[in-house]
Chains A and B, each alone.
Chain A
Amino acid sequence: MEERIVEFLRMGGYAAFVWPAYAVTAAGMAGLLWHSLRAYRRARRAVAALQARRPGRADRA
Chain B
Amino acid sequence: MHRFANPTRFMRASALVLPWLAVATALLLGAGLLLALFVAPPDYQQGESVRIMYVHVPAAWLASAAYLSLAVASAIALIWRHPLADIAAQEAAPIGAVFTAICLLSGSLWGKPMWGAWWVWDARLTSMLVLFFLYLGYIALVNAFDDEERGARAGAILALVGVVDLPIIKFSVDWWNTLHQPASVFRLGGPTIAVSMLAPLLVMALGFTLFFATVLLLRMRAAILARKLRALRRAEAEAAGRFAAGPRDAAGSVL
Q: Taking beta carbons and an 8 Å cutoff, which residues of A are in contact with B?
A: 8, 11-14, 17-18, 20-22, 24-25, 28-29, 31-33, 35-37, 39-40, 42-44, 46-47, 50-51, 54, 57-58, 61
Report whether B232 and A58 are in contact in the complex, using a CB–CB cutoff of 8 Å: yes
A residues within 8 A CB of B228?
A: 47, 61
B residues within 8 A CB of A12?
A: 42, 47-49
B residues within 8 A CB of A61?
A: 228, 231-232, 235
Q: Which residues in chain B, 113-148, are within 8 Å of chain A measured between CB atoms?
A: 113
Residue of A nearest to B102 (CB): A28
A11-B51, A12-B42 as given contacts; A17 in contact with B232, CB under 8 Å: no
Report whether B236 and A40 are in contact in the complex, using a CB–CB cutoff of 8 Å: no
A residues within 8 A CB of B37?
A: 8
Report whether A57 and B109 are in contact in the complex, using a CB–CB cutoff of 8 Å: no
A residues within 8 A CB of B110?
A: 17, 21
Report whether B102 and A25 are in contact in the complex, using a CB–CB cutoff of 8 Å: yes
Pick the contact of A39 from B47, B56, B102, B222 — CB < 8 Å?
Answer: B222
Report whether B236 and A21 are in contact in the complex, using a CB–CB cutoff of 8 Å: no
Inter-chain contact total with CB atoms closer than 8 Å: 97
Pick the contact of A54 from B49, B59, B236 — CB < 8 Å?
Answer: B236
Report whether B48 and A40 are in contact in the complex, using a CB–CB cutoff of 8 Å: no
Q: How far is the CB of B222 from chain A (nearest CB, A)?
A: 4
Pick the contact of A36 from B112, B218, B235 — CB < 8 Å?
Answer: B218
Report whether A43 and B56 are in contact in the complex, using a CB–CB cutoff of 8 Å: no
Classify chain B: how many residues form its interface, as a range: 35 or more
Report whether B232 and A25 are in contact in the complex, using a CB–CB cutoff of 8 Å: no
A12-B47, A22-B55, A28-B99 as given contacts; A47 in contact with B113, CB under 8 Å: no
Report whether A28 and B109 are in contact in the complex, using a CB–CB cutoff of 8 Å: no
Report whether B48 and A43 are in contact in the complex, using a CB–CB cutoff of 8 Å: no
Report whether A25 and B59 are in contact in the complex, using a CB–CB cutoff of 8 Å: yes
- List 14 other contacts, CB 8 Å, given A17-B113, A20-B109, A29-B102: A11-B49, A11-B51, A12-B48, A17-B52, A17-B110, A21-B110, A25-B102, A32-B98, A36-B219, A43-B225, A44-B225, A47-B232, A57-B239, A61-B228
For the complex, give the distance between the alpha carbons of A42 and B95 in Å: 19
Report whether B232 and A21 are in contact in the complex, using a CB–CB cutoff of 8 Å: no
Q: Which 3 A-B pairs have the closest CB atoms?
A: A12-B48, A43-B225, A40-B222
Report whether A11 and B109 are in contact in the complex, using a CB–CB cutoff of 8 Å: no
B residues within 8 A CB of A35?
A: 94
A sample of 30 inter-chain contacts (CB < 8 A) reads A11-B51, A12-B47, A14-B48, A14-B113, A17-B109, A17-B112, A18-B52, A21-B105, A21-B106, A22-B55, A24-B102, A24-B106, A31-B98, A32-B98, A39-B219, A39-B222, A40-B218, A40-B225, A43-B222, A43-B226, A44-B225, A46-B229, A47-B225, A47-B232, A50-B232, A50-B236, A54-B236, A57-B232, A57-B239, A61-B228
Report whether A39 and B232 are in contact in the complex, using a CB–CB cutoff of 8 Å: no
